[in-house]
Amino acid sequence: MANPAAALGEAIGKLIQDEVGRIISPVCERFDCYYDSGGLRSGKRDGTRLELTNTSGNKYNLDGVVENAKGEPIVLVESKYLRYTKHNRDKASWTCVAHSNVRKSYPTIRKSIAVLSGNWTASSQALMRSFGIELYEVPFLRACAVLRQWGVEFQWEEKDTKTPAAALEAFQRLSAEQRVEIGGQLLSPIAPAIASDIESTLKLEAEDIAQQIASVELLLKTRGEEMITRVFPDCRSAVTFLLSLQEEPRDLRGRL
């Protein structure tokens, strides 16, 4: 038998991911957009994995993408479940790298969001926010409380094997309709905010609403393969900085 704890965690993560789709899809339909969450899609892909490829040819498997009527990506969506904080940095870093690289290759992308469930540290969340990823969270203790109402104990010590085995059996006895209801309960506190977030982005895409620049971020790559980021409060400051480099000095030390 597979690890019951891992199997149950994967099932709950999938349940939350599916509920995210149920929240976002109706909003997309109102704006003639489409929420792609993977699976077979005629004319789009032959396989089931939802992947976007960046300009370097690297493929990134994503949980969800909001597309406009032209099929262009507008919003990247991730749903990440973690039981133990020791895996935080790896999962957070992958999400940051994937979204950052994909956004550089698709200028139509307006937003990145991640729905986090389980145990996520403040430092990992801060890392993702620093990459422009908007976060929504299903706290671990809330998940435990909701699942307990359905007879599924979701809280146990790391070396405990009996509790997760019994919990997995209890979860497997639930009907498909009951699992959908659990997903709705888990995300009910954040569902309105997620829907509103997607709606505001699609409104900007569909309507003639002025978009104002809050800041300008420049990424400079040196011949030594160094990546240097500079952030400016407005376009004028960024242009002034670039003009100061137009002579392409032989050595940038002291100027960046």
Domain containing residue 90: CATH number = 3.40.1350.10
Calpha distance 13→118 (Å, rounded): 9
Under DSSP, the state recorded for 45 is B
Q: Do 47 and 110 belong together in one domain? A: yes
The residue segments making up the domain with residue 181 are 4-206
Q: Do 98 and 137 belong together in one domain? A: yes
Cross-strand partners of 139: 118
pLDDT tens string 17-58: 999 999 999 999 999 999 999 888 777 777 788 888 888 888
pLDDT the model gives residue 215: 82
From the CB of residue 241, how many other CB atoms can be counted at a distance below 10 Å?
16
Q: Do 96 and 12 belong together in one domain? A: yes
Domain count of the fold of the chain: 2
The amino acid present at 136, given as its one-letter code, is Y
Q: Do 147 and 217 belong together in one domain? A: no
Q: Do 193 and 169 belong together in one domain? A: yes
Q: Do 11 and 38 belong together in one domain? A: yes
Q: Do 83 and 140 belong together in one domain? A: yes
Calpha distance 52→112 (Å, rounded): 14
Rounded to two decimals, the pTM is 0.81
Q: Do 171 and 233 belong together in one domain? A: no
Euclidean distance between the first and final Cα of the chain, in Å? Answer: 56
Q: Do 131 and 222 belong together in one domain? A: no
pLDDT tens string 75-123: 999 999 988 777 788 888 989 989 988 988 898 999 999 999 988 999 9
- Report the percent of the chain where pLDDT is more than 70: 91
Calpha distance 32→70 (Å, rounded): 10
The amino acid present at 39, given as its one-letter code, is G
Considering the chain, what is the average pLDDT of its residues? 87
Calpha distance 182→14 (Å, rounded): 12
pLDDT tens string 188-216: 999 999 999 999 999 876 555 456 777 88
Q: In sequence order, which residues have a C-beta less than 8 Å from that of residue 212 and are 6 or more positions away?
A: none
Q: Do 199 and 220 belong together in one domain? A: no
Q: Do 237 and 136 belong together in one domain? A: no
Q: Do 255 and 170 belong together in one domain? A: no
- Report the percent of the chain where pLDDT is more than 90: 52
